[in-house]
């Protein structure tokens, strides 16, 4: 439903999007990640026809956004960054206006407004002027505008930004539900959101694509994804490390903490680490070492994100140098 091919964007002579390609099919929720200034919103603005491309092409449902903009724009709903809306309109007025420009009038328009307002919990503020809305409500209004015509494609730039935890949860459920039969792109800085709603993730860094895969594949890159943490009781740290590192399955044993007789160790497996935790438990039992906790650490997305987007640890300048 969305096909981006070698998309580039220059502002002046500065490449902000430096040739990225990806596609999104129906039934997919694509997470769009990247540090501030990476080019996410710029890419979304090009997908939605708000900014012209410098090079490359984008099509929505087979319609080229630059050659066939009206056809392409019928197929998607767009929640832009910072949720812009006409400040002097009322919530209900803005939704009716949005329905009208989507070609929904009369009974169909009324039904579309009611449905979208219901899904976004706006019933209580329908008469309120937009400039008096709180940030979260303004965001919900803009989301309602995006889904009004029930489009097959949704482009959502930070859809949960500014929402309270209950609303965040509900918005994620809604996106996941809609993702079953729509093609959705969601940009976000909240990494657990990616695990919660996305079927695939791309990460861009300084305008280039650095990752394209499933959240699971992303997690598999976590540096500590397969290590086992164990808390032992009544055992000296140095002694434990020396004994553990003698075992062929353990590549490295590291003391993370030692207090009140509790010794916390991180154990890194040699090779792939299948049955690693189980082997450790067997070994501890054989030595009669008492442990009060033993678990395999699941990888952390923020570690992978940092790894992929700042490999040299250097300070980042905005955009591409």
Which spans of this chain sit near ligand ATP (rule: CB under 6 A)? 11, 16, 34, 36-42, 81, 318-319
Tokens 């082997």 belong to: 279
Those residues with Cβ within 8 angstroms of residue 295's Cβ, 6 or more apart along the chain or in another chain: 228, 229, 277
Nearer to ligand ATP, 39 or 269 (CB): 39
281 to 310, contacts with Mg ion by CB under 5 A?
none
Q: Are 26 and 71 in contact (CB under 8 A)?
A: no
Q: Alpha carbon of 124 to those of 92, 128, 141, 147: distances in Å? A: 10, 9, 12, 19
Backbone φ and ψ of 144, nearest 5° = -60, -40
Q: Are 292 and 230 in contact (CB under 8 A)?
A: no
74 to 133, contacts with Mg ion by CB under 5 A?
81
Q: How far is the CB of 205 from Mg ion (least distance, A)?
A: 14
Nearer to Mg ion, 102 or 168 (CB): 168
Q: How far is the CB of 125 from ligand ATP (least distance, A)?
A: 27
> Where does this chain touch Mg ion (CB under 5 A) — which range of 38-46, 89-97, 101-109, 298-306?
38-46
Q: How many CA atoms lie within 13 A of 119 on its CB side?
A: 21
Q: How far is the CB of 40 from ligand ATP (least distance, A)?
A: 3
Nearer to ligand ATP, 16 or 148 (CB): 16
Q: How far is the CB of 98 from Mg ion (least distance, A)?
A: 22
Nearer to ligand ATP, 39 or 215 (CB): 39
Nearer to ligand ATP, 21 or 68 (CB): 21
Q: How far is the CB of 123 from ligand ATP (least distance, A)?
A: 31
Of 201, 66, 180, 84, residue with least CA distance to 131: 84
**C-alpha to C-alpha distance for 258 and 240, rounded to whole angstroms:** 12
> Where does this chain touch Mg ion (CB under 5 A) — which range of 11-19, 41-49, 142-150, 220-228?
41-49
Question: Rounded to 5, what percent of the chain is helix, strand, coil?
Answer: 35, 30, 35
Question: Which among ligand ATP, Mg ion, none contacts residue 48 (Cβ within 5 to 8 A by kind)?
Answer: none
Nearer to ligand ATP, 40 or 227 (CB): 40
Tokens of 243: 């004994």
Q: How far is the CB of 315 from ligand ATP (least distance, A)?
A: 15
Per CB under 5 A, 43 contacts Mg ion: no
Nearer to ligand ATP, 42 or 279 (CB): 42
CA 315 to chain centre: 23
7 to 36, contacts with Mg ion by CB under 5 A?
none
Question: Which among Mg ion, ligand ATP, none contacts residue 318 (Cβ within 5 to 8 A by kind)?
Answer: ligand ATP
DSSP state of 90: B
CA 45 to chain centre: 18
**C-alpha to C-alpha distance for 290 and 286, rounded to whole angstroms:** 10
**C-alpha to C-alpha distance for 219 and 209, rounded to whole angstroms:** 17
Nearer to ligand ATP, 107 or 317 (CB): 317
| Helix or strand holding residue 313 (H, E) | none
* DSSP strand pairing (250-259 vs 262-269): antiparallel
Select the residue interacting with Mg ion from 22, 39, 41, 206 (CB under 5 A): 41
Closest residue by beta carbon to Mg ion = 41
Chain contacts with Mg ion (rule: CB under 5 A)? 40-41, 81
């Amino acid at each position: 439903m969305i096909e981006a091919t070698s998309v580039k964007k220059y502002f002046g002579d500065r490449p902000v999007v430096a040739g990225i390609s990806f596609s999104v099919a129906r039934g997919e929720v694509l997470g769009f990640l990247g540090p501030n200034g990476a080019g996410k919103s710029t890419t979304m603005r090009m997908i939605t026809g708000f900014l012209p491309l410098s090079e490359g092409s984008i099509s929505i449902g087979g319609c080229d956004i630059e050659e066939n903009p009206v056809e392409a724009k019928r197929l998607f709903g767009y929640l832009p960054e910072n949720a812009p809306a006409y400040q002097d309109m009322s919530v209900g007025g803005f939704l009716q206006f949005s329905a009208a420009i989507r070609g929904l009038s009369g009974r169909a328009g009324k039904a579309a407004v009611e449905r979208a307002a219901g899904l976004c919990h706006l019933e209580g503020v329908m008469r309120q002027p937009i400039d008096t809305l709180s940030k979260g409500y303004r965001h919900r209004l803009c989301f309602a505008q995006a889904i009004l015509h029930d489009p097959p494609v949704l482009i959502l730039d930070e859809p949960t930004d500014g929402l309270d935890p209950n609303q965040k949860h509900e918005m994620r459920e809604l996106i996941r539900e809609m993702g079953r039969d729509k093609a959705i792109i969601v940009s976000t800085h909240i990494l657990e959101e990616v695990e919660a709603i996305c079927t695939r993730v791309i990460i861009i860094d300084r305008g280039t694509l650095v990752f394209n895969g499933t959240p699971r594949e992303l997690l598999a890159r976590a540096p500590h994804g397969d290590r086992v943490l164990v808390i032992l009781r009544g055992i000296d740290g140095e002694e434990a490390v020396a004994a553990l590192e003698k075992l062929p399955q353990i590549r490295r044993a590291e003391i993370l903490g030692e207090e009140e007789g509790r010794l916390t160790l991180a154990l890194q497996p040699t090779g792939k680490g299948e049955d690693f935790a189980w082997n450790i438990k067997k070994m501890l039992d054989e030595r009669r070492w008492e442990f009060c906790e033993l678990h395999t650490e699941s990888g952390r997305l923020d570690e992978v994100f940092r790894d992929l987007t700042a490999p040299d640890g250097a300070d980042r300048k905005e955009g591409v140098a």
